[in-house]
Structure 1
Amino acid sequence: MLRRFRPHLYVTYGLLWVLALEGSAVAAAGPAWRPSGATWIRVVSVVLALLFLRMLDEQKDLAHDRVHHPDRPLVTGAITAAELRGAMAAVAAVVTGLNAALSAADALLILAALGYGLLLAPLERLSPAVRDRPLLGLAVTYPVQLLLGVYVYGSLVAAGTVTADRRGAALLTLSACVFLHFEFARKTAWEAPPGARPYSAALGPRRAAAVTAAFAAGALACQVLLLAPRGPLALLPCLAAVLPAHATRRFLAAGRGGWPMPATIAFVVATHLGLVLLAVLLP
C-alpha cells in the first residue's frame, strides 16, 4: 500500500470524489447536504475498490514491470501474487458486507465495478492491442471508474435520497471529465521515457495537450450547467479552471518535459473540495 497505493493520494481522491458526487446530487435536489452513516460506507467502499483495482493492476502489469520497473514489490518478491489475491478476496468480502447493510442494490452495484475490473485481466492477456495501445486500453479500462460513480449515485437513488434525472448524468460526466483530465495529464509529455506508454506517444504532444485541456473544459461546462441555476455564488468552484488553463499554457510554451502535475492535482482537489463546501454551505 505504501509503495503502490499511496494512501495520501488515493484515499484523498476517493474521499473527495464521493463527498463531491453525493453532496452535489443531494444539494441540487433540495436543501444543503450533510454526510450520514451511509455516506461513510460509500467512501470506504470506493477507497477499498480503488485498492482492489490497484492490486489487480500490479498483477496485470507484472511482465512489463519485470523489464521496466524491477524495483516494484511484486517483482522483487516483497509480496506475492497469492498474497495479493488473498487481500483482494478480503477487500471484496468487506465491501460486500458493508453495502449489504445498506441494500442489495448497493452490494450489486459495487460488485459490478469489481467484477468488471476482474474481467480486464483475461481480456488484456487475450488482446495484445488492449494491452499495448494506450488509448484503446483506456477506452476498455475506464468504465470501471464510471461504474464506481454509478455505484455512488445509484446508492443514493436506491435509498430514496435523490431521484434519478439528467442532473445525475451531468454529475457523472463532471466526475469523468475531472478524472480523465488527470489521467491524460499524467501521461502527456514531450518525450516518452523508456518503458512508458504515454498517450502523447500515440497522439503527439500537442494533440494530447488539447485533449487534456478539453476534459478540463468539459468539467467546467458541467459545473456551469449544474450550478448556474443556484445563483452566481454557486459558480465559485468554477474558478479552479484557471489551473488547467495555466498548466496547458506552460506545457505548450516549454516544448519539453511533462505536464505540470502540481496544477493538475490542485485542480482535482479544488474542484471536488469546492463542490463539497458548496453542498454543505449553500442551499
Structure 2
Amino acid sequence: MTRAAPARLCRFVSLRFRPHIYVTYGLLWVLALESSAVTATGTAWQPSGATWVRVVSVVLALLFLRMLDEWKDLAYDRVHHPDRPLVTGAITVAELRGAMAAITLVVTALNTACSTTAALLLLAALGYGLLLTALERLSPAVRDRQLLDLAVTYPVQVLLGAYVYGSLVAAGSVTADWRGAALLALSACVFLHFEFARKTAWEATPGARLYSAGLGPRRSAAVTAGFAAGAVGCQVPLFAPDGPLGLLPCLAVALPAWGTRRFLSAGRGTWPLPAAMGFVVVTYLSLVVRAVLLP
C-alpha cells in the first residue's frame, strides 16, 4: 500500500460504507440479538466488554463484506455504476485486499482473546464471503439470477448471527436451544424484508437488479410484506410469556403494513424505503429497550 492508502480507504468507507447506516445497523443488530438471547433464558441483561467485541467484530465483518462486494461487482459496475470508487481508481483492488487482510487479523485477535469458538465462527462467515466471490465468477447463473444469488449469498448473514449467538453459548451466557434458531429466523426476516423492499419497484430499467423484475411487483411486494409478518411471528413464542412489554417490538409491523399499502396503491415508483429502514431500526431498538426494561 502507498502512504495515501489510509486516506483513500477513509474516502471509500464514507462513500460505500456509510457509518451512520452500517455502524448503526451492526450495533442495533448485535445488541438486539444478544439482549434477546439472554433475557429469553430469564436472566437480566446488561452490555459487557464481550458485547462491544461482538459489535466491533460484526461492524468490521460488514465492512469486509462491503469491500468484497465492490471487488466482486467490478465488471458490472464498469457498465452500470461508472462513478464507483474502484471503477474510477479512487481506490485499487490491492488496497481493498490489504484492508480486508487487516480486518481479518483484527477480528481474529479480538475474538481469540474472548473465545476460540467465537473467532472460528467469525472466520467462517468471512471465509464464506470469499467462497462466494469464486462461485459467482465460475457460475453465470448465480451471478445473473437475482433470486438464486440471494439464496447463495444470504447465508453469510446467518453465519454472522450464528457468531453472535455462538459466542454467547461459548461464554456460558446462554444455553443453545430452539430459542437461538428462532432469534436467527427473526433476524433473517427483518433483514430480508429490507432487502426485498429496496429491490422492489413497479418499473425496472434495463440491467437493474430487482427482485420485482423476476417476480413481478405484486408478488415481490407480497414476499416483502411476508418477511415482516414472519419477523412478528418469530417474536410471539419467544416473548409472549413476558406479557405486553415482551411483545412491544411487534408494534413495528405498522411500518411495513403502511409501506405495503403505499406501494400497492401507488401503482408506480419504488417501495417507500424509509418505512423498510424504519422497520429494521424500530424492531431492533425495541428489542433492546424491552430487554433493559424487563425486571
User: Which TM-score bucket, shorter chain as reference?
Assistant: over 0.9
**Mapping 1:5-16, distance limit 5 Å:** 5-16=17-28
Q: Is the 8 A contact 1:68 1:194 kept in 2?
A: no
Q: Is the 8 A contact 1:32 1:281 kept in 2?
A: no
Find out whether 1:110 has 2:122 as its counterpart. yes
User: Which of 156, 166, 169 in structure 1 is aligned with 2:178?
Assistant: 166
Find out whether 1:204 has 2:204 as its counterpart. no
TM-score under structure 1 length normalisation: 0.99
Q: Which has the higher contact order (CA 8 A, sep 6+)?
A: 1
Give CA deviations for 1:111-159 in whole Å, capped at 9, x if unaligned.
0000000001110010000000000000000000000000000000000
Q: Which amino acid aligns with 1:70?
A: P
Match of 2:291 in 1: 279
Counterpart-to-counterpart distance in 2, 1:243 and 1:10: 20
Counterpart-to-counterpart distance in 2, 1:251 and 1:86: 42
User: Which of 209, 224, 235 in structure 1 is aligned with 2:236?
Assistant: 224
Counterpart-to-counterpart distance in 1, 2:206 and 2:14: 24
User: Which of 148, 156, 169 in structure 2 is aligned with 1:136?
Assistant: 148
Question: How many residue pairs end up in the alignment?
Answer: 283
TM-score under structure 2 length normalisation: 0.95
Q: Which amino acid aligns with 1:258?
A: T
Q: Which stretch of structure 1 is more off in the superposition, 224-233 or 125-134? A: 224-233
Find out whether 1:44 has 2:56 as its counterpart. yes
Q: Which amino acid aligns with 1:204?
A: G
Match of 1:56 in 2: 68
Q: Is the 8 A contact 2:185 2:234 kept in 1?
A: yes
Residue identity over aligned pairs, in percent, reads 80
Shift of 1:31: 2.6
Find out whether 1:241 has 2:238 as its counterpart. no
Give CA deviations for 1:195-227 in whole Å, capped at 9, x if unaligned.
311000010000000000000000000111211
Counterpart-to-counterpart distance in 2, 1:258 and 1:218: 22
Shift of 1:281: 1.2
Q: Is the 8 A contact 2:245 2:290 kept in 1?
A: no
User: Which of 67, 81, 94 in structure 2 is aligned with 1:82?
Assistant: 94
Q: Let me know the Cα RMSD of the aligned residues.
A: 0.7
Q: Which runs of 4+ in 1 moved over 6 A?
A: none
Counterpart-to-counterpart distance in 1, 2:204 and 2:110: 42
Shift of 1:80: 0.2
Q: Which amino acid aligns with 2:117?
A: A
Match of 1:178 in 2: 190
Counterpart-to-counterpart distance in 2, 1:243 and 1:111: 35
Give unmatched runs, 5+ long, in structure 2: 1-12
Counterpart-to-counterpart distance in 1, 2:22 and 2:182: 24
Match of 2:272 in 1: 260
Shift of 1:30: 1.8
